[in-house]
Amino acid sequence: MNIIILDGYALNPGDLSYDCLQQFGTLKVYDRTAPEQVIERAKEADALLTNKVVLGEKEFAQLPHLRYVGVQATGYNVVDVEAARRYGITVTNIPAYSTASVAQMVMAHLLNITQSVEYYAQQNRAGRWCANPDFCYWDNPLIELAGKQMGVVGFGRTGSAVARLAQAFGMKVVAYTSKPQETLPDGVEKCSLDSLFATSDVVSLHCPLVPATKHLVNAERLALMKPTAILINTARGPVVDEQALADALNRGALHAAGVDVLCEEPPCSDSPLLKARNCFVTPHIAWATLEARTRLLQICEANLRAFIEGHPQNVVS
């Protein structure tokens, strides 16, 4: 079996090893692959592994040996699964590997915003505390989470994990989900999407990117939110209308936002959220702890083994 990894650097910048995949055949790893390089690099591949390299009808039509695509991520929108099905190609993803890490990033953004951690650290590097006449100072609002409402949009594994962390901080949790109320954890109340946005102090997004969720957070929905509210997005960039969010932040209609994903990655220098007021942007790293990436690689190996042995797992095609 010829196994090609098209963008191996994303998962493994050097602190892990792909050697575990060599047991299945000949392995070739490319750090990055541009769209125009895909066909040439993958022409002999029986199995392709991709994180963000797009694979669709055009590629499948020119790759006669290809029988398996392993997406090295949970989201698999980079692969046209309908086209893969037509060409008899099995597509798998990696579910649940980063649940704890992504939930941790949600709280990291939330705590940074509510305690102004970054702001005060920068002020003190510049010597402000040293020159202060009092033992402490604050000129940014400090916000206690206990008693506030966390609205979780999408109540899968990560949304559930965020809810547990929010409850540990004493927050009330409401959820927008298709799950029946009786299946939700104690203390989590199901509510409508508009009600969640209108009543929550913090809204955390955990829904997949599908046509129905593109720009789910738009100008109209942002207008429902309290001016003191905080939006956290660790789902997918296009779930949010970025210009609408930037506009809401810049005019003070929303207190702050913490985002780990953008519509375009890497973003252009004029991406509206990069310079928006009280918007804190991290470079899509919620998934990237060593522990989460180690689990990802282990599941990637297990997925490929299961396919070879004739009982594929985590199939999305």
The DSSP secondary structure of 186-206, one letter per residue, reads TTEEE--HHHHHHH-SEEEE-
Q: What is the mean pLDDT of residues 143-153?
A: 98
Domain ranges for the chain: 2-96+290-308, 99-281
**Which positions are catalytic?**
236, 265, 284
pLDDT band at 75 (very low <50, low <70, confident <90, very high): confident
Residue-level pLDDT at 187: 96
Report in angstroms the alpha-carbon separations of 49 from 76, 153, 272, 304, 317.
12, 30, 32, 10, 15
* The domain over range 2-96+290-308 is classified in CATH as 3.40.50.720: yes
Q: What is the CATH number of domain 99-281?
A: 3.40.50.720
Percent of the chain residues topping a pLDDT of 90 = 98
| Predicted structure pTM score | 0.93
In what helix (H) or strand (E) does residue 292 lie, and over which residues does it extend? helix 290-308
Cα torsion angle, 234, 238, 241, 243, sign: positive
* Coil vs helix vs strand at 79: strand
Tokens in use for 72?
């090295």
Q: Dump pLDDT digits (tens) for 217-263.
A: 999 999 999 999 999 999 999 999 999 999 999 999 999 999 999 99
Q: Which pLDDT belongs to residue 296?
A: 98
pLDDT at 205: 98
Q: For 1-19, what is the mean pLDDT?
A: 97
pLDDT, averaged across the chain: 97
Would you say the CATH fold of 99-281 matches that of 2-96+290-308?
A: yes
Q: Output 22 or 210, whichever has higher pLDDT.
A: 22
